[in-house]
């Protein structure tokens, strides 16, 4: 359970009932009706205030969610064989010039949040790539994916997917090594969520 989800549960199960009790004690519009007893007025007022507060929280949550964007980055050895939970191992052989890996980038939500944002993968010194990969640039040990060039920068979308083939090259003099590489966001916004298992690079 995430911290945000825990806070949301506490607000709905503890804070809202306390606010409703406070409100019904001070602003109960049902008190004074001849047909309703004080006990009934309290129960009715409490139910109404709880419904109003819960509806207000739901509206606020929907407004916040409409402003968010979600990015899922998945890697695989084959273009059509991947899932969001996979973390493939790229075995780089120094005797071979290039090793390829597919990168699948899925974008959802509010595209305007992706303006001036890019994905970066920092490569170790013993691994490099090439600059002519579509949508990617490679410089100073960084692979950079510019999100501005991938989708419209306004409106909402569902599952805009890019499939990109990335070459990896072993630098001369490298010894046996293995590490996990993860993409991260440049100019990160709290309204953008990035999900990825990354991939493992290994020298054979």
For the chain, domain boundaries: 3-66, 69-203
Average pLDDT for the chain: 80
Residues whose CB is less than 8 angstroms from the CB of residue 34 and which lie 6 or more positions away in sequence, other chains included:
none
Question: 156-197, pLDDT tens digit by residue?
Answer: 666 678 888 888 887 766 566 778 899 999 877 888 889 999
Taking 80 as the threshold, does the pLDDT of residue 150 lie above it?
no
Largest CA distance in the chain: 92
Distance from C-alpha of 189 to C-alpha of 116, rounded to nearest angstrom: 10
Neighbours of 168 (CB within 10 A): 19
Can you list the pairs that 54-62 forms with residues at least 24 positions away whose Cβ atoms lie under 8 Å? 54/12, 54/16, 57/11, 57/12, 57/16
- DSSP assignment of 111-167 equals GGGGTT-EEEEEPPTTEE--TTSTTEEEETTEEEEEGGGTS-SSSEEEEEEEEEEEE
Q: What is the pLDDT of residue 120?
A: 92
Cβ atoms of 182 and 58 within 8 Å: the answer is: no
**What are the structure tokens assigned to 50, written together?**
């709880």
Q: What is the pLDDT of residue 183?
A: 92
| Segments in 11-147 forming alpha helices (H) | 16-26, 38-66
Of 20-34, 95-109, 129-143, 154-168, give the range with the top mean pLDDT: 95-109
Taking 80 as the threshold, does the pLDDT of residue 82 lie above it?
no
Question: 2-60, pLDDT tens digit by residue?
Answer: 666 667 677 777 888 888 888 888 887 777 776 677 677 788 888 888 888 889 888 98
Fold of the domain spanning 69-203:
Immunoglobulin-like (2.60.40)
Percent of the chain with pLDDT over 90: 6
């Amino acid at each position: 359970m995430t911290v945000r989800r825990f806070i949301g549960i506490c607000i709905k199960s503890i804070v809202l009932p306390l606010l409703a009790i406070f409100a019904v004690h001070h602003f109960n519009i049902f008190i004074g009706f001849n047909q309703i007893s004080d006990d009934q007025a309290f129960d009715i007022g409490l139910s109404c205030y709880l419904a109003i507060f819960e509806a207000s929280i739901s509206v606020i949550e929907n407004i916040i969610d409409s402003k968010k964007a979600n990015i899922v980055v998945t890697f695989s050895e084959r273009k059509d064989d991947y899932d969001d939970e996979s973390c493939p191992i790229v075995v780089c052989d120094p005797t071979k010039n290039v090793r390829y890996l597919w990168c699948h980038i899925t974008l959802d939500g509010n595209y305007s949040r992706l303006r001036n944002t890019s994905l970066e993968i920092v490569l170790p010194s013993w691994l490099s790539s090439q600059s002519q990969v579509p949508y990617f640039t490679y410089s100073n040990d960084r692979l950079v994916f510019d999100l501005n060039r991938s989708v419209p920068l306004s409106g909402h979308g569902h599952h805009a997917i890019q499939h990109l083939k990335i070459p990896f090259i072993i630098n001369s003099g490298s010894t046996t090594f293995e590490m996990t590489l993860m993409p991260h966001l440049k100019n990160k916004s709290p309204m953008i969520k990035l999900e990825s298992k990354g991939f493992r690079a290994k020298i054979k």
